[in-house]
Amino acid sequence: MRISRFSLAIAFLAILFSILAVRLTYLQIIKGKEYKTLSEKNFFRLITINPPRGKIFDRNGILLAYDVPYYELYAVPYMAIDKKQSIDRQRKEAKKLLNSLEKYLKIKIKSKNQKIERLIVRSGGKVVLKTKLTEDQLKKFYTYSHIFKGVFVETVPRRKYTKYAKYLAHILGYVGYPSKEDLQDNPKLRTDMLIGKMGVEKIYNDKLLGSYGFKAVIVDAAGRIRKVLWEKPPKEGNDIYLTIDARLQRKVYEIFKNSREKSGSVIIVNPKTYEILTLLSFPTFDIQRFSDGLSKKEWKELVQNKYKPLFNKALKGIYPPGSIYKIVVSVSALEEGVITPYQKIYSGGVFSIGKWEYRNWNLAGCGNINVMQALEQSCDTFYYQVGLKLGVNKIVEWTYNFGIGEKLNPKIETRKSRVPSPDWKKRVLGEPWFHGDTVNLSIGQGYLGITPFDATKIVVPIANGGKVLKPQILKAIYDKDTHKFIETKPEVIRTLDIKKENLRAVKKGMYLVVYGRRGTAKILAEAPFKNAGKTGTAQVYRKPKKGEKITKWELQNHAWFVDMFPYKNPKFVIATFVEHGKGGSKTAAPITLNIIKAIKKLGLLS
């Protein structure tokens, strides 16, 4: 009897379905409980891998900041805690977990109660329990990991600052975890990602920040990775090169420290490009400790230090400029035709307006002098007269022309200088402007207040022939995608159309400050390069009695010195500010001299 093909096919399908049915019954009924338990003990996790930040170098390629890996202990709330329990039971379970970690790993978990509450409140994400695990603690974790449900170790980047960075704290800034405001401003950030919080780290955070990596894994309840499904590595951020010369910055720091002055600032720039070569705010602080996390004691010491090491005096401090401001008034008066370069004005020891007397710093007076001699001697009574003829509005106009009171580069400049005017005084103080206010403004006193950085704005246009440039601290970016350097080009904001004869007169006056018979900074004649500058002594406290001695540091006058060199073709402009330094000739000028000598020794002009 022959069997048809159709009948064979039917029989084959019947046998196949029977086998499938038996197998399904076996899996669902006999092995079902086992597989259910196994599936509940395995979890799919998408691990986010934080990217390393880009490196920071100085202009010569000296490494300043980079990332190193370290181990971080964290818990995933929904895996570590049974969320079906009551809040009280969850709290007890979380406390037990953290106590066990401390016991077995020999670690101390800071802010334990806060972390317990985070484990209860959150479901997803992660709660960081301990950073910077040692190798020994890591070994202990893997030895006892089977008893720590939902706890993991991850390799994360840590910011490391080199030995040169200790002199650059206010420039580099530091990194930290995002605040609520940071997270709101940038939804792409994660709570455990380090971002720039101050300085260059913050200004160029978008350049230094890399891209997250991801890893999809299957883990068991003990946190062990059973299988890696796929992985996308993180992308490191771009490297940046600063205009800063780290060797010079270190030298400037050492010179200021050795001067034994308590507080101040030094800025050195290239007047042809306005590249910032040095920006020191003294005293400074340890950015590595700041980045890693300070103890309460360390934080208290920094905050209570009367010399304010955390405060960036160079960019945020507002101080009366004193006589360095006479450079601006000189240019203003010459350009507005109030005086000519060789016009002489009698300048005695005292200048009177009605019953009010305004004294010269040297009561012997200056005699018949021109603007060059007035700069040389820093003659107050000359500028009282010139300032009144010029008028407050023209003085203010030219002050803004130089860029003072304006953020020429808002990324770098965090505060504007205070430039007073009749409108300002009426608005802020509710008082009218008097001739005496103009007199005080003419010598850089009164309500005028500038940042030490703005002191460079006074000299840069004199040194480069009238160009007001955009200050730069970024030399170049190394783009990791294109493998190319993107350089920052000099940018002219405006040009002051100063007549050549007027510019020569002001430069000659600054030259006489150093080399003139009655110059106020003769010590600079010892410098290895021909230079020109201007001293400034800004009054802080008016003596109630003639001849009274001031002993308190806080009441001493501020000291300034601005300088440019080499004289015929300036490549450096220096602004030195000594807070409560008594006098420009006494403290600021000697510091500047030592800096010029250091520049010679470093070979920066060759």
| Helical residues (DSSP H) of 545-602, grouped into ranges | 589-602
208 or 39: which leads in pLDDT: 208
For 290-335, what is each residue's pLDDT tens digit?
A: 888 788 888 999 999 999 999 999 999 999 999 999 999 999 999 9
Q: Which residues contact 149 (CB under 8 A, 6 or more apart)?
A: 79, 80, 97, 221, 222, 223
Which segment of 355-369, 486-500, 573-587 scores lowest on mean pLDDT?
355-369
176, β-bridge pairs: 195
Checking if the pLDDT of 227 tops 50, the result is yes
Task: Determine the pLDDT at residue 20.
Answer: 60
Checking if the pLDDT of 548 tops 90, the result is no
Residue 266's identity, in one-letter code, is V
CA atoms within 13 Å, Cβ hemisphere of 328:
31
224 or 395: which leads in pLDDT: 395
User: Look-up: residue for tokens 């007199």?
Assistant: 439
E-assigned strand segments in 162-251: 175-176, 195-196, 213-220, 225-232, 239-242
As given in the structure block, the two tokens for residue 334 are: 């010459």
Task: Determine the pLDDT at residue 193.
Answer: 81
For 113-155, what is each residue's pLDDT tens digit?
A: 999 998 988 766 788 899 889 999 999 998 888 888 888 888 8
CATH class of 45-242: alpha beta
Task: Determine the pLDDT at residue 39.
Answer: 47
Across 362-381, b (16+ Cβ under 10 Å) vs e yields eeebbeebbbbbbbbbbbbb
Q: What is the DSSP letter of 4?
A: P
pTM over the 0.95 mark: no
Checking if the pLDDT of 480 tops 80, the result is yes
Compute the distance between CA of residue 211 and CA of residue 209 in angstroms, rounded to an integer: 7
Checking if the pLDDT of 605 tops 50, the result is yes
Which segment of 130-144, 268-282, 569-583 scores lowest on mean pLDDT?
130-144
For 165-179, what is each residue's pLDDT tens digit?
A: 999 999 999 998 888
CA atoms within 13 Å, Cβ hemisphere of 23:
6
CATH class of 246-602: alpha beta
CA atoms within 13 Å, Cβ hemisphere of 139:
3
